Amino acid sequence: MTKVTGFPRFNNMKKDRKPTIYIAGPMRGIEDFNFPAFDRQAKVLREQGWIVINPAEIDRELGSPSSDPMEYNPATNYEDHEFMRVALKRDTSIICDNCTAMYMMAKWEISRGALAEWHLAKALGLDMYYEAPLPHPED
Q: 64: domain CATH number?
A: 3.40.50.10400
- Structural domain harbouring 64: 20-130
Cα 86 to Cα 102: distance, rounded to the nearest angstrom: 20
Model confidence pLDDT, tens digit, residues 8-29: 655 555 667 899 999 999 998 8
pLDDT, greater one: 136 or 38: 38
CB neighbours (10 Å) of residue 107?
15
The Cβ-side half-sphere exposure at 48, using a 13 Å CA radius, reads: 11
Is the confidence at residue 112, as pLDDT, over 60?
yes
Whether residue 32 is contained in a domain is answered as yes
Q: CB under 8 Å to 42, separation ≥6 — which residues?
A: 23, 52, 54, 56, 57
Residues facing residue 53 across a β-bridge = 22
Whether residue 5 is contained in a domain is answered as no
CB 45 within 8 A of CB 52: yes
Is the confidence at residue 79, as pLDDT, over 70?
yes
Question: Tell me, what DSSP letter sits at residue 108?
Answer: G
Is the confidence at residue 6, as pLDDT, over 70?
no
Is the confidence at residue 137, as pLDDT, over 90?
no
Whether residue 2 is contained in a domain is answered as no
Percent of the chain residues topping a pLDDT of 90 = 62
Mean pLDDT (the chain) is: 87
**Confidence tier at 80 by pLDDT (50, 70, 90):** confident
pLDDT of residue 100: 97
Whether residue 13 is contained in a domain is answered as no
Cα 78 to Cα 83: distance, rounded to the nearest angstrom: 9
Is the confidence at residue 138, as pLDDT, over 90?
no
**Confidence tier at 67 by pLDDT (50, 70, 90):** confident
Q: How many domains does the chain have?
A: 1
Whether residue 135 is contained in a domain is answered as no
Whether residue 106 is contained in a domain is answered as yes
Q: CB under 8 Å to 126, separation ≥6 — which residues?
A: 95, 99, 100, 101, 102
**Residue 138 CA to its chain's centroid (Å):** 30
CB 82 within 8 A of CB 75: no
Whether residue 92 is contained in a domain is answered as yes
